[in-house]
Chain A
Amino acid sequence: MDIFSQIWSQYIINALDILIVSYIFYRILLIIKGTKATQIIFGLVILLCVTILAKDVVHLRTLSWLLEKFWVTAVIILAVVFQGEIRYGLAKLGSKLSYYNHATPVQTSFLEEIIEAAIEMSKSRTGALIVLEKEMGLKNYTDTGINIDARISQELILSIFQTKSPIHDGAIIIHEERLHSAGCVLPISTEIEVKHLGTRHRAGIGLSSITDAVVLIVSEETGKISIAVDGEIEIIQQSDLLKTISKYYLKKD
């Protein structure tokens, strides 16, 4: 019993401590990834290194005094600079808690617009690739396309994917209920089991296997609508589209 408590207090509790802190860091990294905060944090780290160097290594008095004064007011500066991110993070935390309490009504109007567009494209056999970003940032992929940042509407999606459009050949990425980018290039799955599928479907599987995004694919050949989540793809009936997409999109990891 004594050995157990010794192991508990020496190793397990410390490991638990590190794991909890690393989870917090992970959530913070997820929030700031792909935002302007990344560059700001990088700048702050450089400034921190300079402060340590100036104070403890090179002993530059004036510079270290100046930098120390900066760090005193840094909390306020950070709160102002990261205002958006802090608000977003807290809102996310709040929505997560209320998700379990089933308290907040879920906004699905933008999903309805996407689904109506998908059904329309399915009828006209127009290929489409729609990515719904969840918690993981997709900046790497939005950067490969054209930035649009528009309110989602069925007409906008249809005009992007019409075959004469110069950006119809890539994916559109939905970020925070807005159409962030179009014509984006996604990573293609190289798994043998999906070799028989087309490039669009393989791209959907590829992205969903490495991120938590939900990918909606409209086949150009058959007009069937599929959803790729967690690296797996399934064909969805039109009547189940809203239910299935809402389920995957609102599901927390």
Chain B
Amino acid sequence: MKLNILAERYRRKIMRNWKMKLTALFLAVVFWVYVIF
């Protein structure tokens, strides 16, 4: 039961602000591609 609560808390933490996290990841990938090639 405690593990479930903990898992739910971390799931919320990861999902929170997901749009911004995805944008940052996208920018990092673009930047990486630009630097590599």
Which A residues contact B (CB, under 8 angstroms)? 14, 17-19, 21-26, 29-30, 33, 136, 209-212, 230-232, 253
Q: With an 8 A cutoff between CB atoms, is B4 at the interface?
A: no
A24 contacts which chain B residues (CB < 8 A)? 28
The answer to whether B24 touches A212, judged by C-beta atoms less than 8 angstroms apart, is no
User: A29-B23, A230-B9, A231-B12 are contacts. A21–B28 as well, Cβ < 8 Å?
Assistant: yes
The answer to whether A22 touches B16, judged by C-beta atoms less than 8 angstroms apart, is no
The listed residue (A17, A18, A210) touching B25 by CB distance below 8 A is: A18
A33 contacts which chain B residues (CB < 8 A)? 20
The answer to whether A21 touches B17, judged by C-beta atoms less than 8 angstroms apart, is no
Q: Name B's interface SS.
A: helix
Q: Please name 12 pairs of A and B residues whose Cβ atoms are closer than 8 Å in the assembled complex, sorted by A.
A: A18-B28, A18-B29, A19-B28, A21-B28, A22-B21, A25-B25, A26-B21, A29-B23, A29-B24, A33-B20, A136-B16, A210-B17
A14 contacts which chain B residues (CB < 8 A)? 32
A25 to B22, CA, bound (A): 10
B16 contacts which chain A residues (CB < 8 A)? 136, 209-212
The answer to whether A230 touches B21, judged by C-beta atoms less than 8 angstroms apart, is no
